A and B are shown apart, each in its own frame.
Chain A
Amino acid sequence: MIRSELIQKIADENPHLTQRHVERIVNTVFEEIIEALARGDRVELRGFGAFSVKARDARIGRNPRTGEAVKVDDKKVPFFKTGKLLRDRLNGK
């Protein structure tokens, strides 16, 4: 499923809303999650999962082609943990 298919499904269920409206609604949901993570906040959606930010320490990496050592700065990366309900559903419980 891709973004446009998700929008279509929701538009089909809500005939009183225009496609443009549904597009804005769906985009707002994803945009809000990204903005929260960019601020360093967590987004916890019970039953679905939680988005958070993890810190990665600076390290000495290696260019796999040349074997040359390169400094990699510390950084923040997005992380998702599946919620219990969805995890159970994936396994037919």
Chain B
Amino acid sequence: MSEKTLTRMDLSEAVFREVGLSRNESANLVESVLRHMSDALVAGETVKISSFGTFSVRSKTARIGRNPKTGEEVPISPRRVLTFRPSHLMKDRVAAGKKR
């Protein structure tokens, strides 16, 4: 399997082909999608995209970590992390992909 990496450019290109707006406007719209999702997550909202997946923000409490190289203990401050839970549809399509 030749593994490729897609970027914003590929998504813009898909929008360009699908909708027929200019390349520039297609790129701006892809950017808007990512910006609105990011802003909602930063505001602490859960972003639930049906048949794609759910992005949610979890808060983690402070804990003591360890520098694996020196063994030194270092405090890890409380933080917010983002988790993505793929929809069943995405999981099924990704799992089926390998049987190609």
What is A's interface to B at a CB cutoff of 8 Å? Answer: 1-3, 6, 9-10, 13-14, 21, 24-26, 28-30, 32-34, 36-49, 53, 75-78, 80, 82, 86-87, 89-91
Contact = CB atoms under 8 A, between A and B. Distances in A.
A40 B98 contact: yes
Q: How large is the interface on B (under 10, 10 to 19, 20 to 34, 35 or more residues)?
A: 35 or more
Contacts of A49: 82, 84
Contacts of B82: 49, 82, 86-87, 90
A-B pairs, top 6 by smallest CB distance, nearest first, are A80-B84, A38-B97, A1-B40, A78-B86, A32-B14, A82-B82
Nearest to B49: A3
A28 B18 contact: yes
Nearest to B57: A90
